[in-house]
Amino acid sequence: MSTFQIDFGNSGPKSHQGKIVGIDLGTTNSLAAVMELTGPRILSGIVPSVVSVKQDGGIVAGKEARELLITHPERSVYSVKRLMGRGREDVGEELKLFPFHLAPQSGSVLRLKLGDVVMSPPEVSAHILLKLKEDAQAALGEPVTQAVITVPAYFNDAQRQATKDAGRIAGLEVLRLVNEPTAAALAYGLDKRKEGIVAVYDLGGGTFDISILRLHEGIFEVLATNGDTHLGGDDIDHLLMTIALDEIKNEWGEEISADATAVQLLRRAVIQAKEELSFVPQSVIRLDYKGKEYARELALDVFNRVIEPIVEKTLGPCRACIQDAGVKIEEIDEVVLVGGSTRIPLVRSAVERLFRAKPHTELNPDEVVALGAAVQAGILSGDVQDQLLLDVTPLSLGIETMGGLVSKLIHRNSTIPASATEQFTTAVDGQTNVLIHVVQGERELVKDCRSLARFDLKGIPPMPAGLARIEVRFLIDANGILSVTAKDLRAGKEISRDVKPSYGLTEEQVEAMILESFQKAEEDMTERQLREARVEADAVLAAVEKARQEDAYQLLNQEERSAIDRAINELLVVYNGEDHNLIRDKIEGVDKVTQNLAEAIINSVAEKALKGTKIDA
């Protein structure tokens, strides 16, 4: 049983009226769909994920906001999904690419200044959701109050909470958050109903996700997920924008990157050319601005050479995901493409080359996630029968124990909803409170993982070290949100916390955590074994020192006392060394020479307990 680090200081949807809608809240575009008797149906057209503040102070979202982005970029926001659940220090480089700015003195929580209006990313997303809600109500002819919303598989707790907050601000009860690749599998599962293993490759505007799923008798089980939270079509746009801006500077003799209107017009031209190259062999990036014209012919082969590094960057997470899933490439039966960026021919050929199978593209890649969300909504409402969805948690969750070690309760890629319970104990005599430090990550040491929450369980009855029984329970609900409960089993004291960090992982943390865990696995395990040996040595040394204060110690002869002293000194000599096996050998040496002392103490305690007791009693 592990000891705590010493610190000295949903059951289902509610009853509802009307349809539950499925929403794909995307980085570039968003969609709403609903489940009907014949299958899922998109409710209205694509809603651009753009929000703008008009000159009269009114706030608009969608196509109208996209038009205002050209003329009033300083009062418009796009790609806000990249900022959801993240802190100021996480997005400094990204904000350089956007025309909007942070409100001054907004602390660690992001707040964006759009003209005279200040909004947080969840509030911005809420306006997009409100637009989808209004369109859905117009299409259905009835109120919409409940929704299933999709999120990238790699969204952490803070980003998922921010998404739920956005739904609540928009007046929607968010019944479930569903990973986007999983939603895609649901959409294709409607007519496939086939057993096998499926890879879902999702390259959208701002994020990339890859999931490996097993289909068996109508059950979708996510075996593994991976991806990159900062990789998508936006990166292709930024790359082409950089080339175009450099050429314009050379041709026009002026720098237009500081002119927000010019930049947004160029951005639109770049996106149009990129989209055309999915269907034709050549396109033109054309900008007419203030009497000057820029035209750059872009052939498909040149475009492919430019974007090849971005496409190749998606294949690393794919290989890692296949390995995590414990399958071989040849065992993967189907590959599903999701996200508008998968229309790019180079992307499709790269995926086909890696998986050795022609990917599925029957469904519109822009709509498939929303359709899958509608299927999940149908499952929750009871409109879809005999279908179950199992998701996984992308990173391990655990608590800190003595020596700065991580005790993992729920491991990476565990199926959710998930729960795990483990018992811990105290490390020192008379300890009346313990620190519950919740961490996330794959490394063995707390310092190498991400801290999620800290709280104290107080009021533990004082007792000798090791006698307390503290039960810690982790529960991840269907939305991937973690709740932690700590209970003193002897006294009945209990405390619970929903783990809601103030902001999400940085880009570097998200991309590096799993890779580091593999690269440093041997180093971490060696360090863990060393720390565990030292923690055990501390406990043995403390126990011997305490035993020396007992009367029974005086009953030992001089030779036995000297043997104990020598064994303790030998342990102290190797204690700060790097050989955990040597430390454990010396611990065994102490145990061996203190056996008589332990027996004497037990006899002494028993004698005191029985003193004055009659034999027949």
Hey, what are 436's tokens? 């519950």
Nearest 10 degrees: CA dihedral of 255, 256, 258, 264? -160
Distance CA(457)–CA(66), nearest Å, equals 51
DSSP code for 8: -
Please answer whether residues 180 and 24 qualify as being in contact, where contact means their C-beta atoms are separated by less than 8 angstroms: yes
* Region label for 428, one of left (φ > 0), alpha (ψ between -120 and 50) or beta (otherwise): beta
Distance CA(182)–CA(341), nearest Å, equals 18
> One of 19, 81, 131, 586 is an active-site residue; which one?
81
* Tokens 């720098």, located at residue: 255
Query: Cα–chain-centroid distance for residue 363?
Result: 28
Active site residue 116: no
Q: Judging by DSSP bridges, how do beta strands 196-203 and 59-61 pair with one another?
A: unpaired
Active site residue 180: yes
Between the alpha carbon of residue 304 and those of residues 240, 280, 346, 408, 552, the distances in Å are: 12, 13, 6, 44, 82
Between the alpha carbon of residue 173 and those of residues 17, 22, 378, the distances in Å are: 12, 12, 15
DSSP code for 520: T
Please answer whether residues 187 and 369 qualify as being in contact, where contact means their C-beta atoms are separated by less than 8 angstroms: yes
Q: Determine how many CB atoms are found less than 10 A away from the CB of residue 510.
A: 21
Active site residue 94: no
Residue 417, preceding peptide bond in cis (omega within 30° of 0): yes
Hey, what are 245's tokens? 């801006």
> One of 135, 157, 165, 202 is an active-site residue; which one?
202
> One of 90, 180, 237, 532 is an active-site residue; which one?
180
Active site residue 442: no
> One of 19, 24, 209, 586 is an active-site residue; which one?
24
DSSP secondary structure of 178-226? EEHHHHHHHHHHHHH---EEEEEEEE-SS-EEEEEEEEETTEEEEEEEE
Give the helix/strand (H/E) hosting 558: helix 558-575
Query: Cα–chain-centroid distance for residue 10?
Result: 20
DSSP secondary structure of 250-275? HHHSS--TT-HHHHHHHHHHHHHHHH
User: How many helices, marked H, and strands, marked E, lie in the chain?
Assistant: 16, 29
Across 334-404, where does the E strand assignment appear? 334-338, 388-392, 397-401
Q: Judging by DSSP bridges, how do beta strands 76-78 and 50-53 pair with one another?
A: antiparallel
The residues assigned a catalytic role are: 24, 81, 180, 202
